[in-house]
Chain A
Amino acid sequence: MILNTIGVEDMDALSLGSVFLATGGGGDPYLPMLLTKQALETFGPVRLIQVDDLDDDANIVALGAVGAPTVSLELLPSIDEASETLTAFETHTQKAVDVVASFEVGGGNSLLPIMAAAGRGLPVVDGDGMGRALPEAQMMTYAIAGAKPTPAVARDYAGNTASFNTSDTATYERHIRAFAMSAGGMITAAEHPMTGAFIKQAIIPGSLSFAIQLGRLLMEKRGPVEQIVEPLQALFSGSVYGRCELLFTGKVVDKSTRITGGYDVGSAIIEDFDNIHAPLNIAIKNEYLLATQNDKVLASVPDLIVVVDYDTSEPINAERLKFGQRVGVLAVGCPAFYRTEAALKVVSPRAFGFDIDYVPLD
């Protein structure tokens, strides 16, 4: 199903679908969702352009928030900060933006581009730079495909802006994080300027309308994971993701994480209800990255590992996962883009410090 516009009525589904695709990371989209709803109510629905329909010479920029999600509990987002970041980017580059693109379909970042586009009357491209949530800029499809992150403009809550021209993505990541930390902890950035022709081979296509469909399905079929897995498989098989498997059902018997180097790192162990099979171990680094059983890898990043509530199939964020929860663990194939050698160099388990090769879900 292809959507031509995104409106207020799609927001709950988009938020829920994004939490599922965020594979445990991404944060709580509550406030960005309220603000985006308000922006859509004020300015009307936003036009959604399919990747194939983009003009080859369209000027596209990716937009999202960078910083520490905890800070947004006090430093609240504003309805105009996304659109004003876009305007500041245009002023800096002296070129009008034609289409807005999304960093990732996960948490608030799936909503910010829509908020910006609504405020400016611009369209959003139906796709994103991750197809899921991942923690760093160099893991985005745009960067992997060779787009330079700069010129980029970041704007803080007060309208102060900084522009970046860096030699490579790692330097950009370091500099923009430093700006975020000194500007209250959370900023909005417009970065990775691209042409329509370029982004066609550098984006996960259709992921925004897919997240909305996914969210709808999760709301309509809310119930035990064994019942929802078939409709989920039907939905995923017709998408860029392809496979969706129910890996395991059981109870969380251990969960421990701690903050290391800015990441929430740890693991969870899930035992099956009847104690017949060996327990499942999930490695966590903000997102769920590896699912192993007796040291055999069942699923690994960049494939998506999703933990849902056993009874409702509602996705559970890694922060909220705790002892005693009855869960289902699903694995979803990553889009073909992430299976290329260039992509795996930055998103395979090794890129996250695990001594394991990527084992595709098959």
Chain B
Amino acid sequence: MRIGIDVGGTHTDAVLLDASTVLSSNKTLTTADVTSGIVNAIKKLLEDSGLEDSHGIDAVMIGTTQFTNAVVERRELCPVAAIRLALPSGKGCPPLTGWPGDIADAVGRHVYTCHGGFLYDGNTLAKVKLEELDKVIADIQQRQIQCVAISSAFSTMDATPEKMMKARLQKALPHVRVTLSHEMGSLGLLERENAAILNAALLPFADRVVSAFQQALQKLGLRCPMFISQNDGTLMNTDFVKRFPALTFASGPTNSLRGAYKLTGIENALVVDIGGTTSDIGVLQNGFPRESGQVVDIGGVRTNFRMPDVRAVGLGGGSIVSADGKQIGPQSCGHKLVTEARVFGGNTLTTTDIAVAAGFVAIGPHAHSLALPDSLVQQALNTMKALLDRNIDMMKPNAKPVPVILVGGGAILVNGDLASASETVRPEYAGVANAIGAAIAQVGGEAESLMSYRSLGREPALEQVKSLAIKHACNAGACPDSIRILDIEETEVPYMDGEVTRVRVKVVGELNALSGSREVTA
């Protein structure tokens, strides 16, 4: 058995799974002290399922927004020394360029640029100058900075300068903690470096979060391993989280997509997660979320994290409906739905009122006395479906019809089939799809590089990137024998000869700790 928990901004969802059977589930408000909320959710799960004790639990999987929130709210961030080895390129755009002032202040503006790095063709960009590095190390020591982010040009192809700087730094200052940019992200020095700096700034907080979680589990008598969800829908063990907390960014939408897959077994589909204010539309490809190719902004900082490609539409259970039913949202009652909606005795016409009047569901003390003209109800239902259809259409990978899976508390708004879908699927437990998504047992790894097929040959070049991705998966806790290639992306680089290709490989494997137990097959 395993427990999945998804800590969202508003709700904490929890589920207890035995293989693919849901034994119990619950939804509570997220508490300011996240850990106590988790403890209560787990206690309730165990009580509801009637389990005598917690010995049968093999693992606890947690998806949390704490690290994203820390960045967005500029809390819990520690000072970071940001070192880049890429001079003489990039003069005038040192680390932290383009950062909002308040977050640059929060990480302390300790910026260093040195010579080093590589070019696209493997030639040296500039030789590393040891005296430069030693000056930086002396300054870090003098400023007593504990966390360091190191980046170098084309380090996704050759990370020697980053590793060398780390070794030299830790030899002089053994207690200093280091994030290397090539471990964090893909092509795009500035964005990858930003990711490394954010990660380094979260390291001490990650220690505190992980130990708080571990203590909570101990208190509950749970001796099983604990894992945390990553932004690509895979898991990290606690050691890995302590090194790469930033990889938890945006795991919420990912978990709901993975949960929809788990609940239906449909590998290729669109998933519409309807909440109180928005419907988040995402795409499942081979059981994993389709990722966005856009630059991802975290708290105002440009990064190249791979985030799920999610389109948010202003339609949820609290969305406000116009008097003629032709306009819905994006304004929403949000939390106040339970006082302002007509079915709860309020004066605001919401989508929930429409669903009640249409007879899809009976909620609220005034559900039976609610009288709305049929024409209004029909018009509003049409408007909602048209809004969803239009946006679903924009997310489809091509013109072929695809199934649409409806999850989230607001899924009750939609009755019958959506015109844009080949079939409309409403799985049981759709309300806690997030938590189910968190309770997966797979670990991923990825790697990306620019490769010259002319000098290396295509196969050896692909092998190189593959083995790097596999190494990453093993470090995150995957069982080496179980690793399979999920995706290989090859993109030729324009304006370049030599068959230079951008290669990206994604792999996935089973959790090492659970290799004896069966993966939940949906």
Contacts and interface: CB of A to CB of B under 8 A. Distances in A.
Interface of A: 30-31, 34-35, 38-39, 67-71, 73-81, 157-159, 181, 184-185, 251, 253-254, 258-259, 262-264, 286, 323-326
Interface string B124-153: 011000000000000000000000000001
A75 B496 CA distance: 15
B88 A74 contact: no
A78 B88 contact: yes
Given A74-B120, A74-B187, A323 B397 contact: yes
Contacts of A80: 91-92
Interface in B489-504: 492-498, 502
Q: How large is the interface on B (under 10, 10 to 19, 20 to 34, 35 or more residues)?
A: 35 or more
Contacts of B89: 75-78, 157-158, 184
A216 to B, nearest CB: 22
Contact of B154 (A31, A74, A159, A263): A74
Contacts of A325: 394
A74 B153 contact: yes
Contacts of A78: 88-93
B304 to A, nearest CB: 9
B398 A323 contact: yes
B251 to A, nearest CB: 25
* Centre residue among B120, B393, B397, B497 by max chain A CB count within 10 A: B120
A34 B495 CA distance: 24
Interface in B387-415: 393-399
Contacts of B86: 75-76
B139 to A, nearest CB: 23
Nearest to B187: A73
Nearest to A70: B493
Q: Which secondary structure dominates chain B's binding surface?
A: loop
B119 A75 contact: yes
B188 to A, nearest CB: 5
A67 B500 CA distance: 14
Interface of B: 86, 88-93, 97-98, 117, 119-121, 123, 125-126, 153-154, 187-190, 302, 393-399, 450, 492-498, 502
Contact of B395 (A30, A159, A324): A324
B393 A157 contact: no
Nearest to A78: B91
A22 to B, nearest CB: 14
A7 to B, nearest CB: 18
Contacts of A73: 187-190
A254 B450 CA distance: 28
Nearest to A38: B92
Contacts of A263: 494
Given A76-B93, A78-B90, A184-B125, A259 B120 contact: no
Given A75-B89, A78-B89, A67 B120 contact: no
A181 B496 contact: yes
Contacts of A39: 92
B49 to A, nearest CB: 43
B399 A253 contact: yes
Nearest to A264: B494
B87 to A, nearest CB: 9
A34 B494 contact: no
Contacts of B126: 158
Nearest to B156: A74
A246 B62 CA distance: 51
B92 A35 contact: yes
Contacts of B153: 74-76
B92 A74 contact: no
A110 to B, nearest CB: 18
Contact of B93 (A35, A67, A258): A35
A77 B188 contact: no
A68 B154 contact: no
B187 A157 contact: no
Contacts of B91: 78-81
Given A34-B98, A75-B119, A251 B88 contact: no
B495 A262 contact: yes
Given A184-B119, A184-B120, 5 more contacts: A31-B93, A34-B97, A73-B190, A76-B93, A262-B496
A157 B88 contact: yes
Given A31-B190, A74-B188, A69 B120 contact: no
A181 B125 contact: no
A219 B493 CA distance: 32
Contacts of A76: 86, 89-90, 93, 153, 189-190
Contacts of A68: 120, 493-496
B340 to A, nearest CB: 29
Contacts of B498: 181
A259 B492 CA distance: 6
> 3 nearest interchain CB pairs?
A79-B92, A76-B90, A324-B394
Contacts of B98: 30, 34
Contacts of B393: 251, 324
A39 B93 CA distance: 11
B493 A259 contact: yes
A75 B120 contact: yes
B190 A262 contact: no
Contacts of B154: 74-75
Interface centre among A31, A38, A73, A325 (most CB of B within 10 A): A73
21 contacts: A30-B98, A34-B93, A35-B93, A68-B493, A68-B496, A70-B493, A70-B495, A74-B154, A74-B187, A75-B119, A77-B90, A79-B92, A159-B88, A181-B498, A184-B119, A184-B123, A184-B125, A254-B399, A262-B495, A324-B393, A324-B396
Contacts of A75: 86, 89, 119-120, 125, 153-154
A159 to B, nearest CB: 7
A8 to B, nearest CB: 14
A286 to B, nearest CB: 7
Contacts of A184: 89, 119-121, 123, 125
Contacts of A159: 88
A68 B302 CA distance: 22
Contact of B494 (A35, A70, A74, A253): A70
B434 to A, nearest CB: 25
A115 B88 CA distance: 18
Contacts of B399: 253-254, 323
B141 to A, nearest CB: 28
Contacts of B97: 34
A158 B154 CA distance: 16
Nearest to A260: B492
B250 to A, nearest CB: 20
B492 A67 contact: no
B80 to A, nearest CB: 20
Contacts of A79: 91-93
